[in-house]
């Protein structure tokens, strides 16, 4: 290809053709290789290391700051900084890859009434005659009981052929007062819809048989937008420049269509039999799917372009369901609390709770809602990065090779996803490790890792030997070099502990601010519901030990799975829930924590670890 350079990616042996000057990161995405970018390509995390053979821009100041001289000598570069100038070969090590994350597709079960927005009605229309030469449309509308019904242009175009294909016996597909499609014969028993949870990191689709209410198939993918940054702020920044919005929208639509194709194949249901899609997502994901400019969401006072539900022809966005099918997006609450939180509110049935109930969704952000049937208050904190592996020296997402569980006995015991040699640790292991370090007395409540000379006398020798001096304070060896796939030990550093304090401090402070709104203490919270991928893999005892959650009995903490998706399925199966969703979106009060002095005060307190269990 003229004007482009050829970049070969190893070990896959995949080639990408890009313009000279493209970042190695962009070229990798072009080759279908997703590099982990926890800092969104800002050049601060050092996770995107790749080896570039030659033909590359000179090492810049950012790379010099992050990479050690021996890394540079070995040809390692940061994929978010290195620009490719000539044909070259790039090797992407396992440790730099964004492996498919363990994706949570199931959630709390809600018995749902079946009254979908889309419905089918089979009718036999009278034939035209010379005595009554009425139009096809008039005869079909009469047969349907006509009043107030309209035929969409798409349906009108299908009408003459559909009517005559099966002797004037056909099935109308209705959406509200519109006939959106016509099918020859009686197909009333065959009606499908699809519910999507579009998260910042993962996308899950569920195909529902709307005639029976059963889930026919489920499929999930990593959100391909992660190549453009792993948090909403990075995506908004990208969308605000040049063609960024169009590019990000195309990526998510491609992903949705991939999932639709998988669902259709799994359930042996043609995509044309799917007449409606519902979607939940945070406000930024909602705007990016609809191609709405999200830039103001990131600017004080953080207004969304739209709060309410949007209903549009899915084909207008390039979504490959029936060409006349509709898309419904769950209403948002505010700029940083979106339709996914409304989904959690519906799934957890918060608007009917008599006693204060707290729902916490720890994803890339932490969203919290506390309330009763009288009042709901929501807030959001930037809590996720540490628990998703970002800014943690050996942190990674919950994918193959991640230590997911840590327990201390006479020594450290760990279990790893995929049962392979560990290459990092994910959020649940991070919480386990910090809790165990506190119990063992290796970590003090201020968050300082004690030095070898300050450790408790009774500490087993094997644990004692894992405490080593680090670059800033002490480190703890979670896995020895011989046990890992990295060729180096996996450490928990003093800096990592600080990141955990920041993340858990933000979530806990948000909870404390919400409690104050209701004037309740810990005993006054009837239940804590943990939603989202991360929330479902943490161990309650350890989350309590580090002070992530208020000290309540274990029995009051419940896991509710991917509750946002459950909410999307509810509004798909029954339009009645759409009114509830709208009410929740309008009536849930949003608290902007950044502007509250109270939050800063609680945050400072919540940074500390509890003195005891």
Q: Which residues bind ligand FES (CB under 6 A)?
A: 37-39, 41, 43-48, 78, 80
Residue 30 C-beta: closest distance to ligand FES, Å: 17
- Give all strands (DSSP E) within 314-392, no chain letters: 326-329, 357-362, 366-371, 376-381
3-state secondary structure 393-445: CCECCCCCCEEEEEEECCCEEEEEHHHCCCCEECHHHHHHHHHHHHHHCCECC
Considering the complex, state which of residue 78 and residue 368 has its C-beta at the smaller distance from ligand FES: 78
Residue 44 C-beta: closest distance to ligand FES, Å: 6
Return the sign of the alpha-carbon dihedral for residues 450, 451, 454, 460.
positive
Q: Name the β-bridge partners of 449.
A: 443
Query: Comparing C-alpha atoms, which of 227, 228, 175, 232 is closest to residue 198?
Result: 232
Q: How does DSSP classify residue 226?
A: G
CB contact at 8 A, 226 and 159? no
CB contact at 8 A, 237 and 596? no
Residue 42 C-beta: closest distance to ligand FES, Å: 6
Residue 390 C-beta: closest distance to ligand FES, Å: 8
Residue 229 C-beta: closest distance to ligand FES, Å: 9
Considering the complex, state which of residue 69 and residue 177 has its C-beta at the smaller distance from ligand FES: 69
Residue 531 C-beta: closest distance to ligand FES, Å: 28
Cα 361 to Cα 596: distance, rounded to the nearest angstrom: 21
Question: What 3-state class would DSSP assign to 171?
Answer: strand
Considering the complex, state which of residue 46 and residue 351 has its C-beta at the smaller distance from ligand FES: 46
Considering the complex, state which of residue 101 and residue 588 has its C-beta at the smaller distance from ligand FES: 101
Residue 608 C-beta: closest distance to ligand FES, Å: 29
Considering the complex, state which of residue 426 and residue 463 has its C-beta at the smaller distance from ligand FES: 426
Residue 3 C-beta: closest distance to ligand FES, Å: 27
Considering the complex, state which of residue 48 and residue 264 has its C-beta at the smaller distance from ligand FES: 48
CB contact at 8 A, 90 and 7? yes
Cα 317 to Cα 405: distance, rounded to the nearest angstrom: 42
Considering the complex, state which of residue 229 and residue 535 has its C-beta at the smaller distance from ligand FES: 229
Considering the complex, state which of residue 34 and residue 327 has its C-beta at the smaller distance from ligand FES: 34
Q: Name the β-bridge partners of 519.
A: none
Cα 334 to Cα 119: distance, rounded to the nearest angstrom: 32
**Which residue stretches of 465-590 are H helix?**
494-518, 532-535, 540-545, 563-573, 576-587
Residue 82 C-beta: closest distance to ligand FES, Å: 10
Token readout for 89 is 């070969």
Burial class (CB in 10 A: 0-12, 13-18, 19+), 490: buried
Residue 150 C-beta: closest distance to ligand FES, Å: 51
Cα-Cα end-to-end distance for the chain: 64
- For residue 473, give Cα distances in angstroms to 120, 493, 497: 67, 8, 11
Considering the complex, state which of residue 96 and residue 493 has its C-beta at the smaller distance from ligand FES: 96
Considering the complex, state which of residue 44 and residue 105 has its C-beta at the smaller distance from ligand FES: 44
Q: How does DSSP classify residue 271?
A: G
Considering the complex, state which of residue 251 and residue 556 has its C-beta at the smaller distance from ligand FES: 251
Q: Name the β-bridge partners of 151.
A: 179
Q: How does DSSP classify residue 16?
A: E
CA 516 to mean position of chain CA atoms: 29
What secondary structure does DSSP assign to 275-317, as a single string?
A: EEEEEEE-HHHHHHHHT---GGGGSTT---S--S-EEEEGGGG
Burial class (CB in 10 A: 0-12, 13-18, 19+), 294: buried
CB contact at 8 A, 453 and 430? no
- What stretch of H or E contains 209? strand 202-209
Query: Comparing C-alpha atoms, which of 294, 272, 275, 273 is closest to residue 284?
Result: 294
CB contact at 8 A, 543 and 558? no
Residue 7 C-beta: closest distance to ligand FES, Å: 17
Q: Closest CB to ligand FES belongs to which residue? A: 80
Considering the complex, state which of residue 71 and residue 87 has its C-beta at the smaller distance from ligand FES: 71
Considering the complex, state which of residue 37 and residue 329 has its C-beta at the smaller distance from ligand FES: 37
Residue 95 C-beta: closest distance to ligand FES, Å: 13
Residue 89 C-beta: closest distance to ligand FES, Å: 20
Considering the complex, state which of residue 39 and residue 155 has its C-beta at the smaller distance from ligand FES: 39
Residue 393 C-beta: closest distance to ligand FES, Å: 13
Residue 389 C-beta: closest distance to ligand FES, Å: 12
Considering the complex, state which of residue 70 and residue 354 has its C-beta at the smaller distance from ligand FES: 70
Question: What 3-state class would DSSP assign to 54?
Answer: coil
CB contact at 8 A, 105 and 204? yes
Burial class (CB in 10 A: 0-12, 13-18, 19+), 138: middle
Vertex 300: Cα angle to 296 and 304 (nearest 5): 40
């Amino acid at each position: 290809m003229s004007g482009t350079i050829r970049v070969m990616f190893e070990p896959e042996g995949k080639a990408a053709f890009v313009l000279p000057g493209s970042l190695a990161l962009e070229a990798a995405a072009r080759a279908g290789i997703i590099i982990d970018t926890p800092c969104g390509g800002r050049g601060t995390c050092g996770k995107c290391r790749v080896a570039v053979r030659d033909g590359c821009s000179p090492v810049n100041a950012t790379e010099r700051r992050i990479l050690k001289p021996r890394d540079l000598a070995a040809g390692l570069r940061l994929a978010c900084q290195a620009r490719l100038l000539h044909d070259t070969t790039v090797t992407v090590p396992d440790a730099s890859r964004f492996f498919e994350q363990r994706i949570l597709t199931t959630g709390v079960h809600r018995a749902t009434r079946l009254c979908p927005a889309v419905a089918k009605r089979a009718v036999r229309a009278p034939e035209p005659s010379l005595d009554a030469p009425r139009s096809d449309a008039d005869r079909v509308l009469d047969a349907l009981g006509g009043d107030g019904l309209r035929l969409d242009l798409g349906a009108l175009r299908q009408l003459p052929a559909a009517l005559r294909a099966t002797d004037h016996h056909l099935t109308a597909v209705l959406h509200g007062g519109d006939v959106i499609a016509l099918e020859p014969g009686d197909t009333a028993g065959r009606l499908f819809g699809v519910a999507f949870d579009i998260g910042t990191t993962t996308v899950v689709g569920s195909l529902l048989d709307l005639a029976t209410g059963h889930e026919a198939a489920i499929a999930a993918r990593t959100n391909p937008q992660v190549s453009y940054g792993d948090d909403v702020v990075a995506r908004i920044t990208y969308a605000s420049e040049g063609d960024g919005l169009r590019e990000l929208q195309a990526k998510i639509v491609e992903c949705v269509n991939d999932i639709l194709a998988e669902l259709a194949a799994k359930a042996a249901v043609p995509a044309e039999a799917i007449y409606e899609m519902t979607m939940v997502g945070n406000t930024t994901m909602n705007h990016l799917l609809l191609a709405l400019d999200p830039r103001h969401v990131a600017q004080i006072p953080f207004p969304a372009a739209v709060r309410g539900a949007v209903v549009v022809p899915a084909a207008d966005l390039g979504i490959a369901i029936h060409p006349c099918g509709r898309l419904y997006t769950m209403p948002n609450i505010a700029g940083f609390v979106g339709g996914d939180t409304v989904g959690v509110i519906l799934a957890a049935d918060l608007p009917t709770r008599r006693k204060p109930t707290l729902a916490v969704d720890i994803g890339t952000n932490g969203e919290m809602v506390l309330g009763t049937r009288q009042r709901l208050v929501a807030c959001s904190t930037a809590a996720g990065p540490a628990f998703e592996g970002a800014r943690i020296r050996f942190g990674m997402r919950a994918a193959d090779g991640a230590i997911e569980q840590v327990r201390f006995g006479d020594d450290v015991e760990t279990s790893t996803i995929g049962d392979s040699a560990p290459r990092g640790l994910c959020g649940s292991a991070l919480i386990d490790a910090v809790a165990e370090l506190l119990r063992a007395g290796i970590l003090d409540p201020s968050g300082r890792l004690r030095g070898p000379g300050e450790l408790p006398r009774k500490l087993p020798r094997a644990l004692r030997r894992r405490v080593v001096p680090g670059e800033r304070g002490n480190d703890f060896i979670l896995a020895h070099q011989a046990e890992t796939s990295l060729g180096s030990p996996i450490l928990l550093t003093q800096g990592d502990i600080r990141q955990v304090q920041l993340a858990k401090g933000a979530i806990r402070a948000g909870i404390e601010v919400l409690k104050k709104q209701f004037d309740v203490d810990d005993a006054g919270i009837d239940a804590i519901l943990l939603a989202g991928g991360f929330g479902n893999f943490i161990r309650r005892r350890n989350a309590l030990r580090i002070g992530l959650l208020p000290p309540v009995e274990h029995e009051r903490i419940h896991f509710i799975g991917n509750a946002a998706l459950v909410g999307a399925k509810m509004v798909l199966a029954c339009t009645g829930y759409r009114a509830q969703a709208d009410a929740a979106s309008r009536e849930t009060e949003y608290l902007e924590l950044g502007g509250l002095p109270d939050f800063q005060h609680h945050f400072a307190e919540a940074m500390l670890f509890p003195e005891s269990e």
